[in-house]
Structure 1
Amino acid sequence: MTMPDSQRPLTILIAADTYPPHVNGAAQFGYRLAKGMTGRGHNVHVLACRQDKGKSYTEFREEGTVHRLRSHSVPTHEYFRITFPWEIRKEISLLFDKVKPDVVHIQSHYMIGEHVLYEAVKRGIRVVATNHFMPENLNPFLPFPQWFKDIVGRISWKDMGKVMGQADVVTTPTPLAAKAMHQHAFLRKVLPLSNGIDSAAYEVKDGEVIEPHHFPTVLFAGRLAEEKHVNVLIDAVAKTPVELGVRLEIVGGGEVRAALEAQVARLGLQDRVKFLGLASDAELRLAYIRADLFCMPGTAELQSLVTLEAMSASTPVLLADAMALPHLVRDGENGYLFTPNDSNDLAAKITRVLQLPPEELKQMGKASRCMVEPHSIEGTLQTFEDLYRGASYEDKAV
């Protein structure tokens, strides 16, 4: 008996310019996408950079077969790697010959994503393209004056339109990002599709006992980068009432950690601010559950998976009123928005939330948990599988 095309396992090639062990939302999405599609019975291959010097190689991991391309470090970023077209084009072509993908899913229009798309188009293979960030996200890593960065940004938007315009379907995590791609990359059809979250993974299990913090605790999780503005959060904690005893936990690593540690020392907050470094999934889950409040002060978030994870753990949130973050807050219900880069406003709202009676704080957390339901990872995976099998933008647009 022949299996219907709608049920036949697919061979999927995911092209990711950033992928674990990278620590960022796009890298985590690529990993979860691969793992989810493998779990659905598909044959998944991931093409990404290797993290050190050396020739390209292949590794077999739980989420699929990961092909690591030779790459080169950049002086302005602690872990990001770049690939050179003349080194990867032939390897990409040979990989297509070997893998014979039914569909290609690129995660950006840069480097690997770009050349995988060109190869797929040349061979008549279906392409889904997802954009996870704005060209402006590169600004902190470009050692140039702002006028030159603006030129780079315009060129990058133009390239995004040129590359992703050749895909069969283009997606991005939020309606705000889709609007930006319409306006700046001139992409006519962009499908807003959440990165998805396995919200049940962050719930307290039956019989599980997790000790609360002894002091009201704010949590930040993410890459310690300039655009995250963790310095604003540290300043805000310093401005909260001493008698409230607010503590701050910072999960993650990045290029500004040394500067943040110096700021904590300068403010005399060593006993109130703890840098936890990179954390395992299990450690991060516990941090979300134990926190009284989660804060994301970043101003360049296209969705913020860490915020969705914190909300899944029934944690109230304080988020900067910037980019896509306002979509994750109902003021006064599950938390508050604050004015970006305004430590006074943030301090006032940290104080307001952490002075709430325990039952009201718990209700805020429950509201957060309810709000993540539309971001189900299963719904996201099903939609992408439908797109891989030929569904169009019109089929999935709401």
Structure 2
Amino acid sequence: PDIVHTRSWAGVDGALATALARYPKLVHSEHRRNLPYIHFEPAKRKVIRRCIYHLADQVFTVSEEMRQYFCRETGFDTRRVKVVANGIDIQKLDAVTLADAQALRAEYGIAPADCVIGTVARFQETKDLPTLVRAFAQLWHAQKSHGGLHLMLIGDGAERARLETLARELNVYEALIVTGLRHDVPRFLRALDVFALPSLSEGLPGAVLEAMGAALPVVATNIPTLPELVREGENGFLVNVKDPSALAERLSRLVVDRDLARRFGQVGRKRVERDFSLPAMLQRYERLYAELVASG
């Protein structure tokens, strides 16, 4: 190959091997950070990352915040790191018809007038799904009638049993839908009314981009990178991490005010079309690769 592209910490071995071989060109990109290293990098990782950055022909991150973070942690020059944002395939979302979404809702016993709050995630600690379950419980119990509101967790993972146990303890298990691992996520997104992301850390989350592409309002934690996607009061709301009450309050506003939810969704959709489509992302990658090859 002319170029080898490695990603994040998992790509460290490949990056070092490629760099030591001196051919082909090496591109290294940073896409996320996970617990326990979401606020700092330990000394060993700082040194190794800095070495890779110096050896690579091009380094990029998927968001401006991540560029600042990794350069700050490693002491690497920000001018030598690019930002190449992620993109999503909007056509896959548009291929899901209203009839498809209605059929899926019926499959899970969700009435047409019901409201579904949902998320797409790996069930692991960084995603902090227990906070979402607690927020939903506050919202659900605050209703005069307990019908018509559902929480759909699209995904699977190590914390599934813990989440289901928590839902039982909070007496909202009957309103919880856990889909398991799905390969038809666009169909599920089209069945939602509000999207929530309670994560402790993210890169440039594809789940939020896909939710915006599906014209869903988004309530997410105000963690680094999320303000680059969710603009407070324009296409969603931002709340502090591990604050179920704040999350519940913002979700409640969108559950009650469906017109506001639709307006937020429309704004988010237009933003994805303009800045985060798959063709736009592929053009950014193609331009970066072409420039490297042309440089000899």
Aligned twin of 2:256:
355
Aligned twin of 1:246:
149
Question: Cα–Cα, structure 1 residues 116 and 150, in superposed 2: closer, same or farther, change >3 Å?
Answer: closer
Distance 1:202 1:231 in 2: 28
Aligned twin of 1:221:
120
How far residue 157 of structure 1 moved from its aligned partner, in angstroms, is 2.5
How far residue 268 of structure 1 moved from its aligned partner, in angstroms, is 1.3
**Letter matched to residue 260 of structure 1:** L
Corresponding residue pairs, total: 279
Question: 1:352 aligns to what SS in structure 2?
Answer: helix
Question: Cα–Cα, structure 1 residues 350 and 195, in superposed 2: closer, same or farther, change >3 Å?
Answer: same
| CA root-mean-square deviation | 2.4
Question: Cα–Cα, structure 1 residues 390 and 255, in superposed 2: closer, same or farther, change >3 Å?
Answer: same
**Letter matched to residue 199 of structure 1:** I
Summarize the alignment of residues 304-319 of structure 1 with structure 2, pairs less than 5 Å apart.
304-319=205-220
Task: Pick from 38, 48, 54 the counterpart of residue 159 of structure 1.
Answer: 48
Distance 1:293 1:150 in 2: 29
Aligned twin of 2:66:
177
Measured against aligned partners, the alpha-carbon deviations of 1:100-120 in whole angstroms (never above 9, x if no partner) come to x1111111244x543344334
**Letter matched to residue 81 of structure 2:** V
Task: Pick from 85, 99, 114 the counterpart of residue 194 of structure 1.
Answer: 85
**Letter matched to residue 17 of structure 2:** Y
Aligned twin of 1:29:
none
| Greater CA drift, 366-375 or 290-299 | 366-375
1:139 aligns with 2:49: no
Distance 2:278 2:120 in 1: 20
Measured against aligned partners, the alpha-carbon deviations of 1:150-185 in whole angstroms (never above 9, x if no partner) come to 997332122111123211110111000000011002
Asked if the contact 2:119/2:153 (under 8 Å) is kept, the reply is: yes
Question: 1:133 aligns to what SS in structure 2?
Answer: coil
Task: Pick from 91, 97, 106 the counterpart of residue 6 of structure 2.
Answer: 106
Q: Please list every run of 5 or more consecutive structure 1 residues that lacks an aligned counterpart in the other structure.
A: 1-100, 141-148
Summarize the alignment of residues 319-398 of structure 1 with structure 2, pairs less than 5 Å apart.
319-356=220-257, 358-372=258-272, 373-391=274-292
Distance 1:243 1:164 in 2: 57
How far residue 365 of structure 1 moved from its aligned partner, in angstroms, is 1.1
Asked if the contact 2:101/2:188 (under 8 Å) is kept, the reply is: no
Question: Cα–Cα, structure 1 residues 391 and 102, in superposed 2: closer, same or farther, change >3 Å?
Answer: closer
When normalised by structure 2's length, the TM-score is 0.86
Question: Cα–Cα, structure 1 residues 116 and 364, in superposed 2: closer, same or farther, change >3 Å?
Answer: closer
| Greater CA drift, 332-341 or 230-239 | 332-341
Distance 1:338 1:346 in 2: 6
How far residue 209 of structure 1 moved from its aligned partner, in angstroms, is 5.1
Measured against aligned partners, the alpha-carbon deviations of 1:88-131 in whole angstroms (never above 9, x if no partner) come to xxxxxxxxxxxxx1111111244x54334433442332111111
Distance 1:167 1:390 in 2: 14
Asked if the contact 1:126/1:388 (under 8 Å) is kept, the reply is: no
Measured against aligned partners, the alpha-carbon deviations of 1:317-351 in whole angstroms (never above 9, x if no partner) come to 00000121121112222111111110010111111
> More helix per residue: 1 or 2?
2
Question: 1:248 aligns to what SS in structure 2?
Answer: strand
When normalised by structure 1's length, the TM-score is 0.65
Measured against aligned partners, the alpha-carbon deviations of 1:26-50 in whole angstroms (never above 9, x if no partner) come to xxxxxxxxxxxxxxxxxxxxxxxxx
How far residue 208 of structure 1 moved from its aligned partner, in angstroms, is 5.1
How far residue 389 of structure 1 moved from its aligned partner, in angstroms, is 2.3
Distance 1:270 1:150 in 2: 34
Q: Please list every run of 5 or more consecutive structure 2 residues that lacks an aligned counterpart in the other structure.
A: none
**Letter matched to residue 89 of structure 2:** D
Distance 1:152 1:329 in 2: 26
Asked if the contact 2:15/2:52 (under 8 Å) is kept, the reply is: no
Distance 1:206 1:228 in 2: 29
Question: Cα–Cα, structure 1 residues 327 and 160, in superposed 2: closer, same or farther, change >3 Å?
Answer: same
Asked if the contact 1:117/1:127 (under 8 Å) is kept, the reply is: no
Question: 1:303 aligns to what SS in structure 2?
Answer: coil
Distance 2:26 2:119 in 1: 36
Question: Cα–Cα, structure 1 residues 109 and 330, in superposed 2: closer, same or farther, change >3 Å?
Answer: closer
